[in-house]
Structure 1
Amino acid sequence: MALAARELYRFFRAGEEETLALRGVSLEVGRGETVAVVGPSGAGKSTLLSCLAGLDEPSGGEVRVSGVRISHRPETERAQLRARHIGVLLQSRNLVPHLSVLDNVRLAQSSVRGRPGVPALDLLEQVGLTGRAHALPQQLSGGELARAGLAVALANSPDVLLADEPTGELDGDTERRILGMLRARAGLGCAVLIVTHSREAVRVADRVIALDDGRASDVAA
């Protein structure tokens, strides 16, 4: 199994108040599968994605990627495992503002040594950004930013791709293009999980998981 989470709990404390963001969430995503996670704002979707990516530590439970436990490790170890196995596309995008699109991809690739990957320019060609390789992020349109962020997320040919609202600010044509790219990556054996409010993203997913009040349930087809 490419991605497996078991009984994830996440608690946040603010003074004497305690918020339960995740309440025993378990899920699996297989290689070549696209899963959409849906739910209202505040349901715990972004917290779940952060725990799955090793960006945040669950208060309880564990996350495994390609059979390797990523949770409950020092941040340096989680970062190494994330760079090698996981591509992350966040709402705020994953681009360094002062670097060109090409250098952003090269920076992501430099974090993993000794692993053959797709040349950075070839990856930009795949997402249709060859002509914008030397542009800075602030010079890109919304659709170009989404594609550049996707190129960075795919820089190391990850086993798992996690996307947080990847089409939230895009027009319909660009949304379909980005979702098509995600599906194409799944077709190459990547496990894809999309946190989304988009009906189109739900439509193209193989399976849908609903998150509500920190609890997950499968949505009937």
Structure 2
Amino acid sequence: MSTTVMALQARELYRFFRAGEEETQALRGVSLCVRRGETVAVVGPSGAGKSTLLGCLAGLDEPSGGDVRVDGVRISHRPEAERARLRARGIGVLLQSNNLVAHLSVTDNVRLARSAVRGSPAVTVKDLLEQVGLAGRARALPRQLSGGELARAGLAVALANSPGVLLADEPTGELDGGSERLVLELLRSRADDGCGVLIVTHSAEAVQVADRVITMADGRVHDDGH
């Protein structure tokens, strides 16, 4: 890999899970990078290790071996409090579900995400919601949103602190065609603004908007798109 500082870089990631005497090797030496301004899609069959990989890249899980760096700063193999601080500042995570707190409005969900970081991003909450097409739903609770609106609200939360890296796990898995295209256009626009975007997906539409496709199988990268 290039020595140039990447938005995101993972080197030789291993992840083992043990249950009694049984050991599952979820990741087996995965290395990848995402440049600023680049959209990368990670594809592969169920059980290939894609979601485990995203958890390690986001600092939500610790790899058993190897390391992850965001803008050249190592986030793996640190205490959880340090990982959480680095994640809040530099990484936006968009999950298929659970991105929103059920009893808070869309606006308050974004404000909650911002409370984890000192200082205020240049983009106001109002402007951020306008960017994702939710200016008119700012006071709505998650249960009052459609599937497409939920995905866009989750994206607003992921972008609350203007991260340099955006990680999305099946962000369009439960959306209709029109909503899927809108969410993918929003993800693509973040890359155009200089963010490094990685999408774990089964969607052919998501693959089409990507600059590069990484194929995984059996916990390994079989094709990194180069």
Q: 1:31 is aligned with what amino acid?
A: R
Is contact 2:126-2:135 (8 Å) kept?
yes
Secondary structure at 1:20 match in 2: strand
What's 1:137 paired with? 142
TM-score by length of 2: 0.96
The alpha carbon displacement at 1:48 in A equals 0.1
The alpha carbon displacement at 1:220 in A equals 5.3
What's 2:203 paired with? 198
Which residue, out of 173, 182, 194, partners 2:187? Answer: 182
TM-score by length of 1: 0.98
Q: 2:124 is aligned with what amino acid?
A: P
Which residue, out of 21, 31, 34, partners 1:16? Answer: 21
What's 2:50 paired with? 45
Secondary structure at 1:107 match in 2: helix
Secondary structure at 2:194 match in 1: coil
Aligned partners of 1:93 and 1:204: how far apart in 2?
25
The alpha carbon displacement at 1:75 in A equals 0.2
Q: 2:117 is aligned with what amino acid?
A: V
Which residue, out of 151, 155, 159, partners 1:154? Answer: 159
What's 1:83 paired with? 88
What's 2:41 paired with? 36
Identity of aligned residues (%): 80
Write out per-residue CA displacement over residues 156-176 of structure 1, whole angstroms, 9 at most, x where no aligned residue. 100000000000011111111
Write out per-residue CA displacement over residues 86-143 of structure 1, whole angstroms, 9 at most, x where no aligned residue. 0000122410111000000011111110243311111111111111111111111100
Aligned partners of 2:223 and 2:193: how far apart in 1?
25
Q: What residue ranges of structure 2 are gaps of 5+ in the alignment?
A: 1-5
What's 2:3 paired with? none
The runs of at least 4 aligned residues of structure 1 exceeding 3 Å deviation read none
Which residue, out of 90, 93, 108, partners 2:113? Answer: 108
Secondary structure at 1:63 match in 2: strand
For these two proteins, the number of residue pairs brought into alignment is 221
Secondary structure at 1:43 match in 2: coil
Q: 1:29 is aligned with what amino acid?
A: V
Is contact 1:160-1:191 (8 Å) kept?
yes
Is contact 2:32-2:224 (8 Å) kept?
no
Which residue, out of 66, 69, 73, partners 1:68? Answer: 73
Q: What residue ranges of structure 1 are gaps of 5+ in the alignment?
A: none
Aligned partners of 2:214 and 2:170: how far apart in 1?
15
- Superposed CA RMSD in Å reads 1.0
Q: 1:113 is aligned with what amino acid?
A: R
